[in-house]
Amino acid sequence: MGANAEGKDNGSPKPAPVGRVIGVRGPVVDVRFEKVEDIPALYDVLIGQAFDKRKIVLQVAEHLSSNDVRCISLSDTLNVQLYSKVVNTRKPVSIRTGDELFGRIINVFGDPVDDMEPFKSTEFQVIRKPPRPEVFNVQSKFSIKPERMATGIKFIDMLYPLCKGSKMGILGGAGCGKSVVILELINNIVKKYDGVCIFTGIGERIREGYDLFCELKDNNLLSKVKLVFGQMNEPPGARYECVNTGITLAEDLAEHNKDVLLFMDNIFRFIQGGQEIATLLGRVPGESGYQPTLASEVNSVEERIRSIPGRGSITSFQAVYVPADDMTDPSVVAIFSCLDGALALSRDLAQKGFYPAIDALRSSCSNLDARIVGQRHYDLSQKLLSLFAKHASLRRIVQVVGVEELPKEDQIDYKRAEKLLNFMTQPFTVGEAFTGKKGEFVAVEDSVEDVEAVISGVYDKLSAADFYLIGRAPRRKP
């Protein structure tokens, strides 16, 4: 097919250039090409084969000379032989898109990893691309009226409202409940709204990924969810590029007029993967110890998470691991600056059994605006925050002298704040096996009504324990 009877080329594509492996140091692989014109571009994919016939996927990271390139492997480099052949595909990582990906688990290349039938789709998209032009259109960004979304979680709906197209971060250390909140949001929002969901597991443990798959299957949500995993046992390049794979799937669905929920757990592992890559490439770290390109890497990803005016929306929830519970860590600050809201989880509250363990005084949200939530809701939220602040300032005094020694007005505010702190806890559907209580979805109007009743003193005769892990407030007797 490549030549006709006279030996002339009939226009068939040129054979792919072939290079040779000249060095392997963990996930870093150096490749040499004989001809200068065969040198691949940055981020192009090279395909090799290990001694045990496994496919090796390499991504070009640096040009060392006119013939040599340095690559980061996106797959395990075990049994890669010296001088083995590597084929230059002349294109970056591309993944399949389409409806057949719903209910399936794919890796960073878009290949299935769930031991089910292979994909048949022929639609491919490059995962590395610049933000769409709409991102820089300031007029279109501010001409769209925010559309509020109810999450069914009282704490979030009252103080950190979610709008279509917004980006929310869930910040906390290990064991504070980030993944539990993410799972509950998937369960509540995907069931309530006719949208679709992309779950990107960045640095997921295999157990966590399997538990999530089973949880979605048990709740009949798999038909609306696409799952992308770059797991902890994979090289740093796979964990790093996993984010771009998830965003590409979300962009494709938004282009087809779908409202997309993009969940990323955990975006810190993306930064960690970039840090490992920078170290492997010998780049000098910044003053903070992270890669010198930390801010640009985070911004290049976050700027792609945007809704398309007139088409679909992309609403993002991002779990962020906080190293050593230090909210001033450079990685946390870099992510936080790109978000519309941040829910800071408290280890102290989690240890006391307050779930979700959101610290109201360290969290914030730009969507808490009277023009979005209404004047009544906004005024109540400010009173709620002031009561929480007063409770925090009086707590140490109460621990020493007791609440009875406070002035009468402070006693009333302190006790009401305790009731509200307990009322903001909630039984989750995904936590029924642990709490023994059926999960509840609480409407926004119900949350506002109950908070107003507590603040106005309707429930002053009840104890704070009566409000712990419930949905609606205890019904008042007629």
Structural domains present in the chain: 18-92 (2.40.10.170), 95-372 (3.40.50.300), 375-467 (1.10.1140.10)
Q: How far apart are CA 354 and CA 394, in angstroms?
A: 19
Question: pTM higher than 0.95 for the full model?
Answer: no
**Average confidence (pLDDT) over 257-279:** 91
Residue 398 has pLDDT above 60, yes or no: yes
Name the band, by pLDDT with cuts 50, 70 and 90, for residue 135: low
Strand order from edge to edge, sheet including 260-265: 105-106, 225-231, 196-204, 260-265, 314-321, 167-172, 341-344, 364-365
Q: Which of 104, 164, 178, 416 is catalytic?
A: 178
Partnered with residue 73 across adjacent β-strands are 58
Distance CA(43)–CA(242), nearest Å, equals: 14
State yes or no: pLDDT of 139 exceeds 50.
no
| Alpha-carbon span 408 to 411, nearest angstrom | 5
335 Cα distance to chain centroid: 11
pLDDT cut 70: percent of the chain above it: 93
Over residues 130-143, mean pLDDT = 55
Specify the DSSP class assigned to residue 201.
Answer: E
pLDDT over 80 (residue 140)? no
**Secondary structure (3-state) at 284:** coil
- The predicted structure's pLDDT at residue 5: 38
The pLDDT tens digits of the residues spanning 28-58 come to 999 999 988 899 999 999 999 998 889 999 9
The residues, any chain, with a CB within 8 Å of residue 446's CB and separated by 6 or more, are 472
**DSSP 8-state class, residue 41:** P
What pLDDT does residue 420 have? 95
* pLDDT value, residue 277: 92
Nearest Cα residue to 305 out of 226, 367, 247: 247
134 is catalytic: no
What was the pLDDT predicted at 186?
86
Interior CA angle at 325 toward 349 and 203, to 5°? Answer: 105
pLDDT digits (tens, 9 = 90+) for 421-444: 999 999 998 888 777 888 899 999
Active-site residue, selected from the candidate residues 192, 205, 352, 362:
205
pLDDT of residue 63: 94
What per-residue string of b and e applies to 247-284 under the rule 16 or more CB within 10 Å gives b?
Answer: bbbbbbbbeeebbbbbbbbbbbbbbbbbbbbbebeeee
The pLDDT value recorded for residue 172 is 87
The two three-digit tokens of residue 347, written as one number: 């280890």
Q: Is the pLDDT of residue 358 over 90?
A: yes
- Report the pLDDT value the prediction gives residue 48, as an integer from 0 to 100: 94
Catalytic annotation present for 178: yes
Burial (Cβ within 10 Å: 0-12, 13-18, ≥19) of residue 316: buried
- Catalytic residue, chosen from 96, 154, 184, 204, is 204
Is 44 or 3 the better-scoring residue by pLDDT? 44
Q: Assess whether 205 carries a catalytic annotation.
A: yes
Buried b (16+ CB within 10 A) or exposed e, 336-353: bebbbbbbbbbbebbeee
- Residue 345's pLDDT band, with cuts at 50, 70 and 90, is very high
Percent of the chain's residues with pLDDT above 90:
56
At 450, the pLDDT band (50, 70, 90 cuts) reads very high
Q: Comparing C-alpha atoms, which of 173, 168, 184, 157 is closest to residue 427?
A: 184
Nearest CA among 224, 258, 252 for reference residue 125: 252
Examine the pLDDT at 318 and tell me if it is beyond 90.
yes
Least confident interval from 28-42, 94-108, 126-140, 299-313:
126-140
Compute the mean pLDDT over every residue in the chain, rounded to the nearest whole number: 87
Is pLDDT of 214 > 70? yes
